[in-house]
Every structure is written in C-alpha cells, then in structure tokens.
Chains A and B, each alone.
Chain A
Amino acid sequence: KQEVTQIPAALSVPEGENLVLNCSFTDSAIYNLQWFRQDPGKGLTSLLLIQSSQREQTSGRLNASLDKSSGRSTLYIAASQPGDSATYLCAVRGTYKYIFGTGTRLKVLA
C-alpha cells in the first residue's frame, strides 16, 4: 500500500529565503508525482507535475525534482514571498489513483 510522507509538517521563514519541502513515498511504481498548493478553505491548485520518466520540472521560482528509485521528491521555492504562504501537498499517481501526503504548512513572514 502506497504511503506518502511530507516533512516538515510546518515551516515559518522570513521573506526572501530559499526553502525546500520534502516528499517521500514507499512504492516506486508511480506514473507521476504532482505538487499542489492549497490556501485555507480552498481547493487544490496544481503547481508542477513530474512524469515518472522525468527528473525535474521548473515553473518560475519553483523547481521540483523526482528520484523515483529512492522514493523522494523535493519542491524548491526560491526567494520566498508572503504570497507563498499556504499548505503544499504532494501526490503520487498509481493506476488511476492519486495518494496524497499530509502537507507542509508554510508561512512566509514579511
């Protein structure tokens, strides 16, 4: 059974810092891995999708990497801003199903 873990659970940083969020999964037989952002009381917004054959994806200040063999992914946020404050979730896709981690709650202080 696939299990997805995210550390840290919460993070508070001053504005401008570069930061790394971690995601690990137990079964490497995945189709893809996605990172999402969730604002309080809202749905999820997709940030980056990495297919199982890829190593990383970049979008603006975000960079996500995938090491499928070790069951790990990292989300790198450069030059963090207060608007980045949200919960970040990773999800791995098996056959049809997406399994989510519990998220990292990020607060960027102005």
Chain B
Amino acid sequence: SQTIHQWPATLVQPVGSPLSLECTVEGTSNPNLYWYRQAAGRGLQLLFYSVGIGQISSEVPQNLSASRPQDRQFILSSKKLLLSDSGFYLCAGNPGGDNSGNTIYFGEGSWLTVV
C-alpha cells in the first residue's frame, strides 16, 4: 500500500504571506494526487488533482495554486494568503490510471490558520 507524507502539520500565517504545503508519496509510481480542504464542520472540498508530472487540474477558483515537479511530489502554494484560506488541508493519492478498485490514501493533514 502507499503512504502519504505531508508537512508542515500545523502553521499560523499572517494575511498576505506566502504558503507552501508539501506532499510526497511512497509505495507507488505515477500516482494520481489530490489536494483537499476541509473547513470546520464541513466536508472535503477538492482543490486540485494531478494525473502526472506538470499536469494540474483546478477545481475551484481561488488564490491557491498547485505544482507537481516530480512524480511523487505535490505542492500547494499561495503568493498571498487570505483569512478565508484557513482550514485543514489534506493531500491524497491513489495508484495511477482509472482502475475502479484503487483505494485513495490520505496524509495526516496540515492545519492552516491565517491571522
């Protein structure tokens, strides 16, 4: 099975500051990778997904961006954070391709508080 690592686990950032959350995957190659955000008491909102190096699909308009510089690395960034960017960010991945039997695995999450 695969393992998702993401960091940092917690961060407090001022409004207008930049953001970089990193995610790496072990145990599989050419995975599909995802960034989700979970606001307090709410479900998971898909932000970005990637099916390969340099291939990013954005699901919601926002001031966040994602990059995939290596096969098993996925980065979530912002140039200037807003208060509304606060939340719990989760990286996830599953083996590449479109196999209906593939399970998606999640990292432990990153708590972002914008002050």
Contact = CB atoms under 8 A, between A and B. Distances in A.
Contacts of A89: 43-44
Contacts of A36: 106
Interface string A18-56: 000000000000011010100001111110010111000
Contact of B46 (A46, A53, A98): A98
A81 to B, nearest CB: 23
A102 to B, nearest CB: 4
B52 to A, nearest CB: 11
Contacts of B107: 43
Interface stretch (B12-20, B61-69, B70-78, B95-103): B95-103
Contacts of A45: 106
A52 B102 CA distance: 12
A49 B43 contact: no
A61 interface: no
B106 A44 contact: yes
Nearest to A100: B44
A69 interface: no
**List of 5 A-B pairs having minimum Cβ-Cβ separation, nearest first:** A102-B43, A43-B106, A31-B100, A100-B44, A44-B106
